[in-house]
Amino acid sequence: MKLDTVIFDMDGLLVDSEPLWGMAMYEVMDTLGVNLTPELASQTTGLRTREVVSYWHDYFKWDSKSTEEVTVEIVENVTNRILAEGEAMEGLHYILDYFDKKRFKIGLASSSPNSLIQAVIKHLDIADYFGAVASAEFEPYGKPHPAVYLSCAATLGSSPLNCIAFEDSVTGMTAAKAARMKTVVVPEFHNRKNPRYALADLQLDSLLEFNDQQLAKLGGL
């Protein structure tokens, strides 16, 4: 099988949004009287927003607002933060240009709601790179289930076996591997030594490290 397709996660990989998600979560949870620490918040990285809210509702059991209301508030909060101060991750344009020049089909598969995905790719001015954009919002299951990756590949007209997936989280990596895609992880600095990343085909410290040599390691050259 020839590798001819690349699919990217978004949050924490293309846009430096994880800290902004954290601030949005803490701010909204504070209105509920919930003290969500960074250590606790890390347990739900990579899940869909409504799954995160449901998880913490079961944990803290607040009754002042519905999980739907809280989900909407968090998404609105983080969208505003990203539009105001969201920055591209190191190597964003490099990696998109790299695969564009290789004539790879390029997709995006994110756990974020579609409204946020569209806001981010417009904010970063990268919409023209993507032949398909898939949100797990529309899937019966979110990551670590492979559904969003499989949907993105299908929209691109690609077999999962022809795809490379780029991820930053263990949850996302698991989803991509379950879809039978070659998987590259670029974890956050504090999480690079997590032994679970051994499941990936390749681990990098930055998108800038990916080149023809790395592509060859994946069997793409």
Catalytic residue set = 9, 11
Q: Which of 84, 151, 109, 101 is nearest to 14 (CA)?
A: 109
Q: Which residues have C-beta within 8 Å of that of residue 102, sequence separation ≥ 6?
A: 215
Amino acid type, 190? H
Q: Which of 31, 64, 25, 73 is nearest to 47 (CA)?
A: 25
Q: Which of 4, 38, 2, 1 is nearest to 156 (CA)?
A: 4
Q: Which of 75, 139, 125, 74 is nearest to 97 (CA)?
A: 125
Helix (H) or strand (E) holding 135: strand 132-135
